[in-house]
Structure 1
């Protein structure tokens, strides 16, 4: 792969109960486990950070796929949920759900554009394929 851009982030402290920042300091925040996992919930957690990044990336891919398919993706929105759970073999795993709303497209066209975005364009989708269950819902 020829890298077009590289992001660099640093983690310190206790990981989930610590601190993260990007090299350029545009993101600089405390991390805390959510209350559901016994934490204070007073900081961001890795699942929230991943959900935000994947949502933004997937929406960009959705717009690119819409352009290729000549569909109007204006005002489209993506809400991404990242769930953390235990693996049967031990350890933890995540699952992702994208809720896609495209007010200018039919349900079938929204699904087609989202499928193309997921299958062909989004690098987060490429990175998670085969490792993470990803569900795409069309929201009217």
Structure 2
């Protein structure tokens, strides 16, 4: 019995490879601007964006890892690098001695506040401006479906 999965059709392969290529191009292009103009990497921006979405500007390390789709060790290492630059800090969790919060510092909040308008311009220029409202809605539905099926 042959247990190998069926190969991708030409259209399926085109969709898969195109999505990967588009993602890489968008992240690289937007990341260049963040780095050159604001001294932030794309991953710095992602961390700061998630932290500043919360009312208190903090998340447990495991919560941050989940929302970013990263391993806990990657989050810990990246947060340590950001802390050396004064963008984030760690705060012990009072109700759980084993846990810690990642918090955005005033410098981190200032960095994302400065970078966000330009980042939004890049997202529009590089991505959204090339799609119709219907395509944007459909893509949002597609990403929600796929993420919902694989998000743990």
TM over 0.5: no
- TM score, norm. by length of structure 2: 0.33
The answer to which structure, 1 or 2, has the higher relative contact order (CA under 8 A, 6+ apart) is 2
Who wins on radius of gyration, i.e. which is larger? 2
- TM score, norm. by length of structure 1: 0.35
Higher helix share: 2
